[in-house]
Structure 1
Amino acid sequence: MKNADLYRLVWMSRPLMQATEACVEAGLRETELTVRMRAVLEILREHGDLTVPDLAQRLEIKRQYVQVMVNETLTSGFTEQRANPRHKRSPLVALTARGRDVIEEIISREMALLDRISAGLDPEEIATALKVVLAVTDKMKQAAGDGK
């Protein structure tokens, strides 16, 4: 098969994501966070205060589902709503001090795990793998949009 390695790379993304999610879940056991709540906190940590539609765009999932995720973080006190000077009916979602502290601790632990996982892996090969995965993802999105 001409593209056997590319085919395998694409299909290995699922077991990689499942294993990654299991590691993330294990790292959240001592917190009140779910994986989906963690995703919201991570995006807010990286990008600052955002609206639900902005979060949905960054997470690449439907706005309605992100609203459910945000509601969970609001109820748990990890985020809060703030007035949005650009849009009265679409408040900004912001990390609380509690939310910032917990996501910083989680990411610190995850980075330590990645340090252990990366032992023995060539940084240049990791960079190449990332470049390939980004390119394949972009081309798959284009192909899906083309309806081909």
Structure 2
Amino acid sequence: MSDSLSPDALAARLAEIYLVVGPLYRKASRVVEREQPVMGMSVGVRAVLEQLQRDGEVTVPTIAASQELSRQFVQRMVHEAREAGLVELVGNPRHRRSSLVRLTPEGHSAIAAVTDREHRMMARVAGHLTDADIDTALRVLRSMLAGLE
């Protein structure tokens, strides 16, 4: 195993990652929004649908906290998704004033279509990447995220 970087060298190398992650995120966001106009799915709505797909029905505050977004923003995204028929609000047995947000069958289909299309696009990524490369990238990104907590 190689030696760890000094704090200054580590900071400089991690800054290089930010220079790539920012444009990558923005480009991916534009692709999603450009490819999904028929479904009316913005990046924000997509984030809500993906979380519901992963976690099942949850509250707006739960979505906001897990994605580090304001509750107001998430509420707007839920409202958009609800108007499009992608989510529904259901009673919450634990909290009468905070409804649970749940995917509708249309929401399940919509997020599946988006992720399927994205997976096909990602399958075209060149670079002969290995599983170990991806594990390393995820470990670094998760460490960066944890370091900002």
- Give the structure-1-normalised TM-score: 0.86
Q: CA deviation at 1:24?
A: 1.9
1:55 matches 2:63? yes
Q: Which residue is equivalent to 2:24? A: 16
Q: Which residue of 1 aligns with 2:34?
A: 26
Residue 111 of structure 1: which of 111, 119, 123 is its match? 119
Q: Secondary structure at the match of 1:55?
A: helix
Taking only the aligned residue pairs, the percentage that are identical comes to 35
Unaligned runs of 5+ in 1: 142-148
Q: In structure 1, the residue corresponding to 2:39 is in which secondary structure? A: coil
CA distance in 1, matches of 2:90, 2:111: 20
Counterparts of 1:126 and 1:77, CA distance in 2: 35
2:94 to 86, 111, 116: 86
Structure having the higher helix fraction is 1
Matched, 1:2 2:13: no
Go from structure 1 to structure 2 and tell me whether the alpha carbon gap of 1:29 and 1:120 turns closer, same or farther (over 3 Å shift). Answer: farther
2:81 maps to which residue? 73
Residue identity opposite 1:37 in structure 2: V
The residue identity in structure 2 corresponding to 1:7 is A
Deviation at 1:96, TM superposition (A): 0.9
Q: How many residues align?
A: 141
1:8 Cα offset (Å) = 1.1
**How big is the alpha-carbon RMSD for the aligned residues of Structure 1 and Structure 2?**
1.7
Q: CA deviation at 1:40?
A: 0.9
Which blocks of at least 5 consecutive residues in structure 2 are unaligned? 1-7
CA distance in 1 between counterparts of 2:128 and 2:15 reads 26
1:26 Cα deviation from its structure 2 partner: 3.1
SS in 2 for 1:2: helix
Q: Which amino acid aligns with 1:23?
A: V
8 Å Cα contact 2:32/2:42 also seen in 1: no
| Amino acid paired to 1:97 | P
After superposition, the C-alpha distances for 1:37-86 in whole angstroms (9 at most, x for unaligned) are 11111111111111111111122111111111111111111111101111
Describe the SS at the equivalent of 2:134: helix
Aligned to 1:144: none
Correspondence list, 1:123-134, <5 A: 123-134=131-142
Q: 2:48 aligns with which of 13, 35, 40?
A: 40
Greater shift after overlay, 114-123 or 8-17?
Answer: 114-123
